[in-house]
Amino acid sequence: MLDLDGTLLHTAPEIAAAANQMLQAMQRPTLDPLQIQGYIGEGAQMLIQRCLMGSSANVPDAAALAEAQALFLKFYADNVSHSQPYPGVVAGLEAMQKAGYRLACVTNKPASFTLPLLQASQLDSYFSVVVSGDSLSKKKPDPAQLLHVCEQFQLAPEQALMVGDSISDVTAARAAGCYVFTVPYGYNHGLVLQSDASIAQLGDALTLLH
């Protein structure tokens, strides 16, 4: 099971651009793209809320959140397919597939963006299961998505591996009872992640699995 944002694809530039377009449209101050990158990993709604709050502690009201979400989704739809895979991702997926592993993409990104993004980056053919942030009633860090994949593959959780870049990935894997590897790049908010292994790129996972 592989996370999408920050693990397979570098999506932060496009997300940050859409978020700042949203803020401009609402006549609010724009934010440093690196600040917005720090908001990635817990789903679009949380990212939008944090962008509206900026350095303030005041949570925006429901009307502002609804307006912001509509704007963000509109702007992000315009550039979502521009995101590119990290180095080694395609080669790693190829190697995993050739080694006989079944692959699933597990992300908190809404399905309306997940599927077009996988298709545009030509990664969709590697995954027999894709679970997006709105596929189930709960998403990472809850284990529901990971347990769903295990059911689809008819595997016990201890036979499955999650590869991700954030604390949400690690927390979900631990709660599900799966193994978890992390990549050092991506959007981990500067946290030290307590995973089973840290791999420089996806292909390195195979060395540890054999």
Q: Which two tokens stand for residue 168?
A: 């949400």
Is residue 3 among the annotated active site residues?
Answer: yes
Q: Which residues contact 178 (CB under 8 A, 6 or more apart)?
A: 1, 146, 150, 157, 158, 160, 161, 162
CA distance linking residue 193 with residue 155, whole number of Å: 25
DSSP state of 177: T
Selecting among 3, 5, 165, 169, the annotated active-site residue is: 3
CA distance linking residue 12 with residue 78, whole number of Å: 14
What are the distances in angstroms from CA 198 to CA 26, 34, 45, 173, 175?
41, 23, 29, 14, 19
Q: Please list the active-site residues.
A: 3
